[in-house]
């Protein structure tokens, strides 16, 4: 193949190929698209031209037309790879949950859609379009758990390492609603706030360096200082959007501890909003029951016992009891008896 430079000074080997089929009809794209031209002339086989500059809109008729012209893929610049990945994630997240499916299937759909939507949030940030989709996912969580509270048991916690943060956020949203319902909360608007707060609780981590987020060993003091900024970074990410105060509180205060040892403000129990304390329980439990680079996945019983031994005095006991109730409600699961044996006396 020839290696002639394009009018833009670009070559195929300097770019990333993407399939034409990956572009969904009538969707906005925020990355430049390049195409290879030159026809049958081998000296021009690698010439690259700008096909569409961002922002633009992709039309449904274009894929078939391009294939007739022999174009099966486009090219993007390496520095647009994150935008392209977010574009794919957002289109995946635009699917809807099948309300007629089994609880297990619905939860898996919610996790898949929610995690891809959170991937968009982390790569491109928050805006009203993303917020609207997140609110739809929050409503799906509430509806699913109202139809069958035991659906919470179908959360899948063995996920790809790179997708952990996105799946974790969706899992925390599901667990937060389950705990709130187990504690007697039935107001749909409040439950949706718990779901949305769980989804967004870690959105500030998009500002945290990846080497800190994914570090397998203990954090250095300087790295820990970076990590502790994420609640405030998350609050700042949503402050210009129409996000309920309860959700903002969850984002800002979910790492505060009742004994005053939390962050970012070291608040004591009576100063920490209760919704944030509840989501903190869901956050800890979901993290403990997921395989990470620095710890193995715990069983539900092991996670609860670890929370009881190491966290009581730091977490809201009523919400911890609510978690136990949520995990043992209705038809018995295999480890229900073991979990019910956990007492807080």
pLDDT, tens digit (0-9, with 9 covering 90-100), for 251-261: 999 999 999 99
For residue 91, tell me if it sits in a domain: yes
Q: Domain of residue 132: give its range.
A: 85-340
Q: Are residues 143 and 193 in the same domain?
A: yes
For residue 251, tell me if it sits in a domain: yes
CATH number of the domain that 333 lies in?
A: 1.10.3210.10
Mean pLDDT of all residues belonging to the chain: 86
Q: Are residues 285 and 328 in the same domain?
A: yes
Rounded to whole angstroms, the Cα distance separating 176 from 195 reads 6
For residue 3, tell me if it sits in a domain: no
Q: Are residues 161 and 181 in the same domain?
A: yes
The strand pairing partners of 205, in sequence order, are: none
Q: Are residues 159 and 296 in the same domain?
A: yes
Q: Are residues 230 and 144 in the same domain?
A: yes
**Which of 56, 76, 96 is a domain's end point?**
76
For residue 283, tell me if it sits in a domain: yes
Q: How many domains does the chain have?
A: 2
pLDDT for residue 49 is more than 90 = no
Please enumerate in sequence order all residues whose Cβ is within 8 A of that of 222, keeping only pairs 6 or more positions apart, or say none: none
pLDDT for residue 331 is more than 60 = no
Q: Mean pLDDT throughout 126-140?
A: 91
Q: Using pLDDT thresholds of 50, 70 and 90, give the confidence band for residue 330.
A: low
Other Cβ atoms less than 10 A from the Cβ of 3: the count is 9
| 155 alpha carbon, distance to own chain's centre | 14
Strands 56-58 and 47-52: unpaired
Q: Is the pTM of this model over 0.95?
A: no
For the chain, what is the radius of gyration of the CA atoms?
Answer: 23
């Amino acid at each position: 193949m020839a290696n002639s430079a394009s009018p833009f000074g670009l070559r195929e080997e300097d770019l990333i190929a993407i399939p034409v089929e990956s572009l969904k009809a009538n969707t906005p794209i925020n990355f430049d698209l390049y195409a290879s031209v030159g026809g049958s002339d081998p000296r021009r086989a690698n010439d690259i031209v700008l096909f569409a500059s961002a922002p633009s809109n992709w039309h449904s008729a274009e894929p078939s037309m391009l294939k007739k012209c022999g174009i099966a893929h486009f090219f993007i610049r390496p520095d647009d790879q994150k935008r392209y990945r977010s574009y794919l994630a957002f289109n995946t997240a635009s699917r809807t949950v099948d309300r007629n499916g089994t609880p297990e299937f619905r939860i898996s759909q919610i996790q898949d859609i929610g995690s891809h939507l959170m991937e968009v949030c982390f790569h491109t940030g928050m805006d009203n379009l993303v917020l609207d989709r997140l609110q739809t996912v929050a409503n799906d969580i509430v509806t699913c758990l109202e139809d069958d509270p035991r659906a919470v048991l179908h959360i899948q916690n063995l996920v790809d390492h790179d997708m952990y943060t996105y799946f974790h956020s969706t899992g925390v949203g599901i667990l937060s609603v389950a705990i709130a319902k187990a504690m007697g909360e039935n107001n749909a608007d409040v439950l949706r706030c718990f779901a949305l707060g769980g989804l967004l609780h870690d959105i500030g981590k998009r500002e945290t360096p990846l080497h800190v987020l994914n570090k397998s060993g203990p954090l250095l003091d300087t790295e820990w200082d970076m990590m502790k900024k994420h609640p405030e970074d998350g609050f700042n990410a949503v402050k210009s959007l129409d996000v309920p105060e309860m959700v903002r509180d969850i984002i800002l205060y979910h790492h505060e501890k009742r004994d005053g040892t939390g962050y970012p403000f070291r608040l004591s129990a009576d100063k920490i909003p209760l919704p944030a304390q509840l989501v903190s329980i869901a956050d800890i439990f979901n993290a403990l029951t997921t395989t990470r680079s620095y710890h193995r996945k715990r069983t539900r019983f092991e996670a609860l016992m670890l929370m009881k031994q190491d966290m009581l005095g730091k977490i809201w006991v009523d919400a911890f009891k609510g978690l136990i109730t949520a995990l043992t409600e209705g038809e018995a699961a295999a480890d229900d008896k073991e979990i019910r044996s956990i007492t807080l006396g």
